[in-house]
Amino acid sequence: MEKAINRQQVLLQHLNPSASSFLSHQNNSALSASACLAGDSAAYRRTNVFGDDVVIVAAYRTALCKSKRGGFKDTYPDDLLAPVLRAVIEKTNLNPSEVGDIVVGTVLAPGSQRASECRMAAFYAGFPETVPVRTVNRQCSSGLQAVADVAAAIKAGFYEIGIGAGLESMTTNPMAWEGSVNPRVKQMEQAQNCLLPMGITSENVAHRFGVTRQEQDQAAVESHRKAAAATASGKFKDEIVPVATKIVDPKTGDEKPVTISVDDGIRANTSVSDLGKLKPVFKKNGTTTAGNSSQVSDGAGAVLLMKRSVAMRKGLPILGVFRTFAAVGVDPAIMGVGPAVAIPAAVKSAGLELDDVDLFEINEAFASQFVYCQKKLELDPQKINVNGGAMAIGHPLGVTGARCVATLLHEMKRRGKDCRFGVVSMCIGTIYLPPSLPFCYILARVADHQFHN
């Protein structure tokens, strides 16, 4: 019963216009925590609409294409970001001068260079010079962090409208370690584990928690199957912005104009038997292969957020309400378990329980960690990555967070009122290969968002 009352206290803070209002009127408000016959697992119902909610009114992405050999191999990074930023303006009739900030999640490019490319993209998209742009790097959740940063700024009153975006060209900016590694790392095991190859952390998860090769390959097959079905049925058309670009013949140098509007890494006919023929990549007798890992990709995405009162005034449809965010650190040796830790933290902070969540988008960095997190949290497979995940669609590091938000919210919109709560989560790590060392750098943190209509 104490748990139920504590949960109601959290919910009441959501139902009141502000936390300060809740605290000052707690004693005389008609809203109060009490024992509830509905039990402790029923999702709460919002009975009031408050203008200071942070809402998402648009979320778009490019198609995701295979690095170095896909549809965007000859496309400049700024030409990837510009189309999704332009789509935000055109599809919502937004006055671009009203945007308070554009925050772009990105990982691999040199910081100052990528910041300049993002500003250039904003100009190409039609934003005036008065609209600022900055980048944020939280490794694989950078696009997610960009959305969280914008939501926090709107909630704080810094501005009323902002864009959280993501950009990555893994063709243009390959993964590499620059400079030397501090020898001090040898003095601490946890620090050494930060330099483990991300594939080895996948092997560690599989070994420590008993995730079999069969389970991993089956998860990859399911990812491709669902992504192929979503593509064939046109589900991704609402979130993908076509990009007019070019393909250059590497032998002749001839340029061919193309328009890219479909993810090109999805293999509809992938089978467990086919994947079973692939050799492990990171460990001689391991289980992690190219077939049950996320794809290295190029792409971009953008999410438009604003105060609810502004969205209502502009007559814009609300795709989702930004409700909470959580980042949790885990052992870098098994960084892939992160979502199993961060999802409960985010759900609890929203006053919900896991059973209340209707849809999950959990990034499939590796099948080993994806399978583990699903089993650990005892999640219904019918609720997770219903349109496929990174093993099929791709994982452009700085984009994935924004891509997952777009995929989640458009699916929630299709499902209607019965689909109320959604969660986005991922483990965080990026492979950087030091020139003289056979290991990589991992930043093992976890980020989650939770949205609901």
Q: What is the pLDDT of residues 269-292, one digit of tens each?
A: 999 999 999 999 999 999 999 999
What is the per-residue pLDDT across 415-426, written as a single tens digit (0 to 9) for each? 998 899 999 999
Name the least confident of 7-21, 78-92, 303-317, 355-369. Answer: 7-21
Show the domains of the chain with their CATH numbers: 52-173+190-444 (3.40.47.10)
Non-local (6+) Cβ contacts of 154 within 8 A are: 54, 100, 160, 161, 162, 305, 306, 307
Catalytic residue among 118, 404, 427, 440: 427
Check whether 337 has a pLDDT greater than 90: yes
- At 16 the pLDDT is 60
Give the separation between CA 303 and CA 85, rounded to whole angstroms.
Answer: 9
Is 406 within 8 Å of 307 (Cβ atoms)? no
Specify whether 427 is catalytic: yes
User: What secondary structure does DSSP assign to 120-189, as a single string?
Assistant: HHHHHHT--TTS-EEEE-BTBTHHHHHHHHHHHHHHHTS-SEEEEEEEEETTTS-----SPPPGGGGG-H
The catalytic position among 395, 410, 449, 452 is 395
- pLDDT, one tens digit per residue, over 203-224 is 999 999 999 999 999 999 999 9
Residue 399's contacts (CB-CB under 8 Å, 6 or more residues apart) are: 61, 64, 105, 143, 166, 167, 168, 297, 299, 300, 301
How confident is the model at residue 34, as a pLDDT?
A: 42
Of 82-96, 185-199, 246-260, 287-301, where does mean pLDDT reach its minimum? 185-199
What's residue 27's pLDDT?
45
Angle at 147 between CA 421 and CA 93, to 5 degrees: 95
Percent of the chain with pLDDT over 70: 83
Mean pLDDT taken over the chain: 87
Give 348-373 pLDDT, tens digit per residue.
999 999 999 999 999 999 999 999 99
